Amino acid sequence: MFIATLIAAGRLGDDALARAAEIAGGGEIRWIDPGDAADLLLGPVDDWRDLRDRLEEGLPGVDVVVQQAEHRVRKLLVADMDSTMIGQECIDELADFAGKKEEIAAVTERAMQGELDFEQALHQRVASLNGLGVGCLERCRTERVTHTPGARTLVQTMKAQGAQALLVTGGFHDFADPLASELGFTELRANYLESIHGHLTGKVTGEIVDAAAKARALVEMRDRLKLPPEAVLAVGDGANDAPMIKEAGLGFSYHGKPKLEQVAAARIRHNDLTALLWAQGIPKAEWTAG
């Protein structure tokens, strides 16, 4: 059996639900949270991606998640950091302290769109930070970085439901370590910025966390926890998240780039990260911010 979850926080009405049932050719409607999210219970679905696309097109402003009813509550959350768990691209904000934000942000955008090799783009951007005082890292984090709405609630609620949480990012430990602690991630993977005598050298040390490394981290943690693929939920926004999104049992593009939206099972375009809780059938009464 399949479920189509319809999400439009504070904006979902009976007319939209009736329209969804019409598009799907029937189905039983059940509210998760009235006015916010509802399930359309369906029978077998021949092409769930086609159904998702038709529902999205027919319900403007509504996020749609079509999935099998089994294993709906996931046991592992794997999430990207920049523009997913936080609202910024850290390297762009850090480049602003070096007076180079505009040029670096342009490279970041092309990398996230999948137009540039991620590792090469990372080295190019980090090189521009050569000589920047390490004190700017903490200033940037505290002055510029903000949690994405719903981020902590997502992580804490899934943990309360018995899940583990992995933060995996092509960004840097200087930002990821505090964020993981603040939001409640149990593990993380990130890159290391090299510094000497209190200044960045413009180099990254150790193994680069690129698209392939993100997917490997998901698989390694999934296997260590002895979970089936369908027990994993992953979320990201850029083209470099595509391999991990495809590896997950339920992969989300969160306000994502077109190349990620093409491969993601679900696209969150209108709501915040709490949409991922409604997608698992978890009502507000069971949410927690820790």
Residue 237 confidence (pLDDT): 97
Q: Note whether residue 3 is domain-resident.
A: yes
Residue 10 has pLDDT above 70, yes or no: yes
CATH code for position 7:
3.30.70.260
pLDDT grade for 116, boundaries at 50, 70 and 90: confident
Complete DSSP assignment for 167-198: EEEEEEHHHHHHHHHHHT-SEEEEEEEEEETT
Q: Note whether residue 104 is domain-resident.
A: no
Helix (H) or strand (E) holding 253: strand 250-254
Tally the domains of the chain. Answer: 1
Q: Note whether residue 157 is domain-resident.
A: no
Residue 53 confidence (pLDDT): 98
Residue 138 confidence (pLDDT): 95
Helix (H) or strand (E) holding 259: helix 258-261
In angstroms, the CA 104 to CA 129 distance is: 10
Q: What is the CA radius of gyration of the chain?
A: 20
Please state, rounded to an integer, the average pLDDT across all residues of the chain.
96
pLDDT grade for 290, boundaries at 50, 70 and 90: low
Is residue 117 part of the annotated active site? The answer reads: no
pLDDT tens digit string along 117-127? 888 999 999 99
Is residue 82 part of the annotated active site? The answer reads: yes
Mean pLDDT of 263-289: 97
Q: Note whether residue 33 is domain-resident.
A: yes
Its domain, for residue 57, covers: 1-70
In angstroms, the CA 40 to CA 64 distance is: 10
Residues counted in the chain: 290
Residue 117 confidence (pLDDT): 87
pLDDT tens digit string along 197-241? 999 999 999 999 999 999 999 999 999 999 999 999 999 999 999
Residue 251 has pLDDT above 80, yes or no: yes
Residue 232 confidence (pLDDT): 98
Cα atoms in the Cβ-side hemisphere of radius 13 Å centred on 240: 30
Q: Note whether residue 61 is domain-resident.
A: yes
Q: Note whether residue 236 is domain-resident.
A: no
Residue 289 has pLDDT above 90, yes or no: no
Residue 218: CB partners within 8 Å, gap ≥ 6? 76, 78, 166, 168, 232, 234, 244, 247, 248
Mean pLDDT of 101-119: 90
Q: From the candidates 36, 82, 210, 237, which is the catalytic residue? A: 82
Q: Note whether residue 259 is domain-resident.
A: no
Tell which wins on pLDDT, 232 or 98: 232
Indicate whether this model's pTM tops 0.85.
Answer: yes
Residue 98 confidence (pLDDT): 87
Q: Note whether residue 15 is domain-resident.
A: yes
Q: From the candidates 39, 80, 92, 237, which is the catalytic residue? A: 80
Residue 287 confidence (pLDDT): 98
Q: Classify residue 284 by its DSSP letter.
A: G
